[in-house]
Structure formats: structure tokens, C-alpha cells
Structure 1
Amino acid sequence: MNIKFSKRSDTIEASEIRELLKLIGNNNIISFGGGLPSEETFPVEEMKVICNEILSDYGGKSMQYSTSEGYDKLRKIIIEIMRERGINTDIDNILIISGSQQGLDLTAKAFIDEGDTILCESPTYLSAINAFKPFYPKFEEIFIDNEGLDPEVLEEKLKKSKNVKFLYTIPDFQNPTGVTLNFERRKSIIELANKYNILIVEDSPYSELNFTGQHLPPLKSLDTEERVIYLSTFSKIVCPGFRIGWICASKEIIKKFVLFRQGSDLHTNIFSQMQITKFFEKYDVKAHIEKNIAIYKNRRDAMLNAIKADFPKEVKYTEPKGGFFLWVTLPTYMDSKELLKCALKNGIAFISGEAFFPNGGHKNTLRLNYTNISEEKIREGIKILSDVIKENMLKNN
């Protein structure tokens, strides 16, 4: 049958991360690939209690259709979370969404016309690229260093680019590099957004998972003109399966997003919203997050120590101060996709770096995740990966 798909469907490609996740069920594979939180951190016992309470207290209402904007009790909790992050807001600025990924989809639908320019860090979050691509934007990449996105390069792009709709950025423990944007650059980026009249999409899934305890202010907290669309999620601090995130933006933008989401999923799962709400009402969530941080910091340390001990000196890597990932840069003559083939034969998986660049290239890079694997397996896996890298370096030389 000759199926006539839309032109837009031609832009959709299988996510390398989603494909690699299929391998994780194979116990013979040590996977540094997917960005999964550890199941050890999920509040399973607490949720058993919470589910029973919700059904007892709300009965069928907990299974009913709900409002597109989200469950008001949870929106009020989010307001308090935002205040703790230095952002003063109110309930009409908050939209609860089905994971922050939906926020990227709504942003694309509401703002991107064919040919518009999207500014983004390079490399950047793969699923953001996939959310924006179907709307045929032009991606202008801004390469990041160990302090994040360079405002001077951003301004050069703003001067030269046409029809810039927004800058997409992950300031804290960036996916895929683990890099954090420094404070002075944060201030400069807000100033440039005001000067050149653009929006900023600030994606903040990892900011709570800070291994140093020294938090930098979100871009949204520095925003005096309501230019920042702030996305965040409970996936990394509670669990991802509930698919609960939120957007904080101007009331005008929230109203537009609500209209778009009514044409897709109507509203976010109300039972999951009630579960998150009860979790915050009944339990010490800060202690829960601290426990998560301790687990992830130990695993980050295990990975960095193993890399320092085993990787060839020609291989460079980031040293994240929080979050889920670190970034590896191989010698320029190497191809991480070819390396992955060899690694898989030796029971190791990772994500090759090229997928994180909107316009391709940079084949000598890769991303490693440390959150969903034991310290013992991290050390074992890095040793094997190091041997594979050394073997491939010899072949290529």
C-alpha cells in the first residue's frame, strides 16, 4: 500500500537513546547509554501507601478527566519549589505537563515556523532536536566550553541570524556534557535576550542533583521581562514513569500552550499528579533528594576515578558537578559509532556523540551515564571500554 505520510514525518528518525535502551534488558551488557535514574531511588514503599490513600480519599475522582492546566494542589507545591529556586511566580504561570519533553513539543508548536532560527548549545539534548526538527527550523549551534555557552559567540550569532525565535539551553549539568553555565554568563545571556528581543527556553531537569551544594540561580530568576520559558520535571528527583513535569512562563504563553495541549493529550494523568502531591505532603522530599545525590555522586566519582586510571591521555572528558552524564572526546581520527560496534561485542554500550549535534559531525565524541549502574559495574565497564579505545587507537594509527 502506498501510504502518503506528511512532509513533516520525513524529519523523524529513531532516537539512538531509545534504540539503545532496548539493550539494557540484556544482563550481559554494561550500559552507559540511557539517561535513566536508579530504581534504588524510587519511593516504592511510600507509593504503596499513597495509592491506597488516594483511592480511599478520592475514589473515582482520581480516575476522572481533569483540567488542562493541572491539579491545583500540585501547582501550588510547584510554586514553592520555584521560590526555593529563586523564582517568584503564581499559579497562572504554571502548567503541569506530561514530562518536560512535552514542554519542548509545545514550544515547537507554539513558536517555530519553517525557516525560523533556533539557537542552541552544541552539543545539545537529542530529544530537543527531535522535538524541533519536524517544524523545519534552522539550527545555529553555539559550541560550549567547560563554563557553558559563551555569550560573545551567542551575540555574534544573534547579529548574523534571521528570524531567531529562541535560545534553547540546559544551564545546569547539561545533557550531554554535564557542563554548568557560570553565573556571569547567565547574566550576560539574559541581557542579550533583552537586547535582541528573543525568548529563552531554559530546560532544568537536573538542577536539584547538585553534588557541591552550591546552586547557581536559574536564568528564569534573572528574567525581568518574562522572556524565559522554564521547563522542569519530577522524573529525576522522584521517578520518570509518572511523566510529570511543568512549565513556568508568562500567562500569555501558558494560555497558548494550554490550547495546543488540548489538541494532543487534554491533560496530564491526574492520578500521577495526586501521587506526586501526596509524596510532597507526607514525606521529607529534601531528605529523599539528598539520598539520591549521595548515590549519584558516588557513582560519578567511581566513573571519574576509573577514567583517570584507565583512559589513554589523548582522550579528554568533562568532570560534572551534578546531574547524570559526562562527555568524552576521542582523538579526531576516531569514530565513536565504529567504537560502539566494538564495545558492544565486548558487552559495553554508550551513546555516540554525533546525534547530539543538530547539524551532525563531531564523530569523535560520546556520552557516558553513571546513574543507573553500580560502582562495581562502572569500574568494570570503564576498564573494558578503555581497552576497546586503546585497541581502536592502535588500528587507526
Structure 2
Amino acid sequence: MECTFVDYSYFINLHSSRRRPLLTRELTKLHYMAPKEAISLAEGMPNELTFPFEKLNVVMKDGSSFTLKGQQLGVALQYIPSQGYPPLVQLLREFTQQMHQPPAWDLRDVMVTTGSQDGISKTIEMCLEEGEPVVVQNPLYSGTETVLKPFKPTLIPIAQDHDGMIPESLRSALQDWEKKCLLSNGEYKMPKLMYINPTGSNPTGTTMPVERRLEVYRICCEYNLLILEDDAYCFMNFTETSLPSFLSLDTQGRVVRFDSLSKVLSSGLRIGWVTAAKPLIQNMELHIQSSYLHSSTLSQVLTYNLLNNWGFEKLLSHFESVRNYYKARRDVTLAAMDRHLKGLCEWTVPNGGMFVWIKVHGVADVYDMLMTRGIKKMITFVPGHAFMADPAEACSYIRASYSKATPKQTDKAMCLLAELIREEQELLRRKLENCT
């Protein structure tokens, strides 16, 4: 397949383009590449002999175990290159290539991040200028909106249905924006970035089918957008078919993909990685060099040992067990909703992830209902406002998570939510009567 990658100078903002490699960080790379007999007085690393740790024993639930001690423990407690612990970086390269088989793999690279949120943040800070427009799915993951907010962007919200972002809405929005740019005499710019969460989307639980992914990708090529593919729930896809990622469709090098082990291994390890064209990875690495130097070495070495001991086949088997666990939790939650919320709400069956998106009938804005009266009933849900492109607008949606509560707790929560909604509807009815 013939691939022609885009010109990345268009996407990298002025602030980010000024970054230069930090020599001491570059020498850290050499430390890990140098032969054993090499002598270096260059690194500003502390001596591992001064660390108070003797060994770390890790025992897995399947009975397997490994121990970090001696030189390997020393590495786990030491500075590493900003791109990540080299053996883990190589393992993630192999895993990403095997899972997605992206075109022109030799033109891409990966970098370890402190969870996928970190990768999203670094990419936005690398690309966005203040006031520039950004295309987002609506509703969108609230963590991304938090990263965007300081840049004062104009969000171009694209509606979703039960299959995720609607391609026709995306094309229409971009056509309208293009007309606005042409008529504005330079006041408006075309967007450079599109954020999308295609599998088990947070908060809606939707999973985008392959035909829609292809059409969205074509539109992004036509309008020269970088696609920020946030796929933290890709291994929690409840559909029967394995879906291609945007990365696997990417013949122009315009996909920046964010992966995470938070949902399937441990959220506290904070291990994520970003896959993108090499110029973008190199620029993001410079950002990390100038901020926190690198993600936790201990987390990376632990993750490497686990993945290396298990191998990809056992890792994928574990992912399948995680997927089945959450699918069962989803079904329990939907059954409780059927018992208590029928007629009061409507919802779409989530095709992945950990959330169900609920629309409340007869309540135009659920914020006070949930955040004031709901908390008094000892139940908490997230008001949909947290995920909307314009959080100030009235919103009748609720996000419910089925990841932690037990089946008994879930049933009680849905029963209390139904009670709360009826009370709210009655309160609104009385207010309307008083007004008339």
C-alpha cells in the first residue's frame, strides 16, 4: 500500500516548534545503548547503592511471580530515556504492530506516557494555538475538555447516535466552518485536530462500526485533520467483531493513537503509550524532557516483566476475561434499569467500556436533581453536563458507571434514581402550575 504522510509543520504550534533536545536527556539514551565496558562520567544519575530497597517480589493472581533485585531493581529505580524504558518501548512497538498492522510502520514510533490522558495532553499542547477550533465528538470525555479549556478553543461539536460520531454531521459541520472561514477575511481558521473515542466511548458506551470509521477517516483526509484516537477501551469491546482502529486505516500518517493499560491491568501503574508518526513522537518527547523527564520507571519495569513473562497470547486472554467481566456487569445494570427506569428514561445498550448514557424524560436539566437531592439519597451519578461541548447548556443526560458497584448496590441505586426522578418530575409539575 502506497503511503504519503502529511506535512507536520502545519500541525506543530509555534511554542512547541521552539523546543530543542536536552543534552543530558540525550546522554541518558546513550547510557542504555552503550556497551558494558564503556565508562561515563556524564550522567547526573544517583548511585543505586544509596537506594534503601533490596528486592521487590510480585505475585500474580494466576500463581506466577517475578522478583526485581540487583541490577534490574537498580534500573527500575533509576532515570531512563524520556521515550520510556527501552525494553518496554520495544515490546509496545511489537504489540502495536501486531494488533493494528498500520501502513508504513517504519515511519511511526511509540512513546510511553503516564496514562493515555498524558498523551492526549501532550499532543494538544504540541499542536493547538490559543483560540483555534477543534472538532470533538459530542458528548466527549471530560478529561479532554479540561486539557482544551486553557487554549480557549472554539469546539466544533459533532453529534453521535448509537454508532458514535455521525459522518454526515462531521462533513456538514466542516463545510459550514469552511464557508465561515472564506467569508471571515482571515478571522476564522480551519481546525487541525479532531478528537474521537471510537470504542466503548466515554460517556455513551458507543462503538463505531467499520464503515463509519472509514468514512470519518476519508473526511479527515479531505479537510487535513489530525485524528486524536483515544482508544482506552479498545480491549473492552463487547461487539462480536474485531474492529480496525483508525491507526490501522491510516495511509497518511494523520492518526495519533492513545492506548492505556489502566482499564485492563492497573490504573495506578499509569502506563499508557502514544503511537504516531516519528516527527510527532520526537516533538512530544522534547515536551517530556522539559517537564517530568519520563514516566515512572518502576511502573514501566513492572509492566515489562509482566508482559514479557505472559507473552501476547496470555495478555490477550487476560483482556478477554476483563471484557467478559464488564459485559456481565453491564447486563446486570441494564436489567436493574429495566426494572426501575422504564418509562422514566431511555438509553442505548453500551457496546463497550464501563458506562451507560441515560436520558431522563421530563427533566430538562438534571444537575440540581443529582448534585443536591440525589446526594441526599446517598446515590451519585455524573450529570451529563460534564461531557458536553457546551457544559453551560441544560442537559437531561446522566452517566452511570457499572464498574465498581455490586449487583445489589446497582439495583438499589437504580431504584433510588427512579424515586428521585419521579420526585423531580412532580416538583417541576408543581412549579409549572404555580407559574400558570
Indicate whether the TM-score tops 0.5.
Answer: yes
Structure 1 residue 279 corresponds to structure 2 residue 309: no
3-state SS in 2 of match to 1:54: strand
- Corresponding residue for residue 77 of structure 2: 63
1:9-24 alignment runs, 5 A limit: none
**Could you tell me how far 1:120 is from its partner in structure 2?**
0.3
Query: Against the structure 1 CA distance between its residues 305 and 183, is the aligned structure 2 distance closer, same or farther, given a 3 Å change threshold?
Result: same
d(CA) in 1 for partners of 2:232 and 2:94?
Answer: 17
- Corresponding residue for residue 287 of structure 2: 260
Q: Pick from 420, 431, 434: which aligns with 1:388?
A: 420
1:1-397 alignment runs, 5 A limit: 45-46=59-60, 53-56=67-70, 58-88=72-102, 89=105, 93-161=109-177, 162-283=189-310, 284-331=314-361, 333-340=363-370, 341-360=372-391, 361-397=393-429
Q: Which piece of structure 1 moves more, 269-278 or 383-392? A: 383-392
3-state SS in 1 of match to 2:203: coil
The question of whether the paired residues in 1 share the 8 Å contact of 2:199 and 2:231 is answered with yes
d(CA) in 1 for partners of 2:233 and 2:159?
Answer: 20
The question of whether the paired residues in 2 share the 8 Å contact of 1:233 and 1:246 is answered with yes
d(CA) in 2 for partners of 1:366 and 1:71?
Answer: 40
**Could you tell me how far 1:91 is from its partner in structure 2?**
9.3
3-state SS in 1 of match to 2:412: helix
Query: Against the structure 1 CA distance between its residues 276 and 333, is the aligned structure 2 distance closer, same or farther, given a 3 Å change threshold?
Result: same
User: Structure 1: 5+ residue runs without aligned partners?
Assistant: 1-43
d(CA) in 1 for partners of 2:200 and 2:406?
Answer: 21
The question of whether the paired residues in 1 share the 8 Å contact of 2:192 and 2:224 is answered with no
Q: TM-score, normalised by structure 1?
A: 0.85
**Could you tell me how far 1:369 is from its partner in structure 2?**
0.3
The question of whether the paired residues in 1 share the 8 Å contact of 2:162 and 2:348 is answered with yes
The question of whether the paired residues in 2 share the 8 Å contact of 1:118 and 1:139 is answered with yes
d(CA) in 2 for partners of 1:168 and 1:308?
Answer: 33
**Could you tell me how far 1:79 is from its partner in structure 2?**
2.4
What is the CA deviation profile of residues 298-346 of structure 1, one whole-angstrom value per residue up to 9, with x for unaligned ones? 1100110111111041411121122111101112533221221222111
d(CA) in 2 for partners of 1:376 and 1:45?
Answer: 31
3-state SS in 2 of match to 1:95: strand
What is the CA deviation profile of residues 185-241 of structure 1, one whole-angstrom value per residue up to 9, with x for unaligned ones? 110111111111111100000010122342211111111000010001010110010
What is the CA deviation profile of residues 230-285 of structure 1, one whole-angstrom value per residue up to 9, with x for unaligned ones? 00101011001011100000001111111111121111111101111111122322
Q: Which piece of structure 1 moves more, 118-127 or 371-380? A: 371-380
Q: TM-score, normalised by structure 2?
A: 0.77
What is the CA deviation profile of residues 114-173 of structure 1, one whole-angstrom value per residue up to 9, with x for unaligned ones? 121100011000010001111121111111111111111111222232330111000001
User: Structure 2: 5+ residue runs without aligned partners?
Assistant: 1-57, 178-188, 430-436
Identity of aligned residues (%): 30
Query: Against the structure 1 CA distance between its residues 292 and 181, is the aligned structure 2 distance closer, same or farther, given a 3 Å change threshold?
Result: same
3-state SS in 2 of match to 1:380: helix
The alignment of Structure 1 onto Structure 2 pairs a total of residues equal to: 354
The question of whether the paired residues in 2 share the 8 Å contact of 1:299 and 1:378 is answered with no
The question of whether the paired residues in 2 share the 8 Å contact of 1:50 and 1:279 is answered with no
Q: Which has the higher contact order (CA 8 A, sep 6+)?
A: 1
Query: Against the structure 1 CA distance between its residues 256 and 47, is the aligned structure 2 distance closer, same or farther, given a 3 Å change threshold?
Result: farther
The question of whether the paired residues in 1 share the 8 Å contact of 2:132 and 2:154 is answered with yes
d(CA) in 2 for partners of 1:332 and 1:105?
Answer: 37
Q: Which piece of structure 1 moves more, 264-273 or 85-94? A: 85-94
- Corresponding residue for residue 12 of structure 1: none
3-state SS in 1 of match to 2:259: strand
Work out which of the two has the higher radius of gyration on C-alpha atoms and give 1 or 2: 2
RMSD between aligned residues: 2.0
Name the aligned partner's letter for residue 207 of structure 2.
T
d(CA) in 1 for partners of 2:176 and 2:64?
Answer: 54
Query: Against the structure 1 CA distance between its residues 388 and 163, is the aligned structure 2 distance closer, same or farther, given a 3 Å change threshold?
Result: same
d(CA) in 1 for partners of 2:125 and 2:202?
Answer: 23
d(CA) in 2 for partners of 1:294 and 1:269?
Answer: 30
Q: Which piece of structure 1 moves more, 207-216 or 147-156? A: 207-216
Name the aligned partner's letter for residue 95 of structure 1.
M
The question of whether the paired residues in 2 share the 8 Å contact of 1:334 and 1:396 is answered with no
What is the CA deviation profile of residues 17-75 of structure 1, one whole-angstrom value per residue up to 9, with x for unaligned ones? xxxxxxxxxxxxxxxxxxxxxxxxxxx83299999622345132211100011122212
Query: Against the structure 1 CA distance between its residues 318 and 56, is the aligned structure 2 distance closer, same or farther, given a 3 Å change threshold?
Result: farther
The question of whether the paired residues in 2 share the 8 Å contact of 1:298 and 1:375 is answered with no
Query: Against the structure 1 CA distance between its residues 48 and 286, is the aligned structure 2 distance closer, same or farther, given a 3 Å change threshold?
Result: closer
3-state SS in 2 of match to 1:202: strand
d(CA) in 2 for partners of 1:226 and 1:125?
Answer: 24
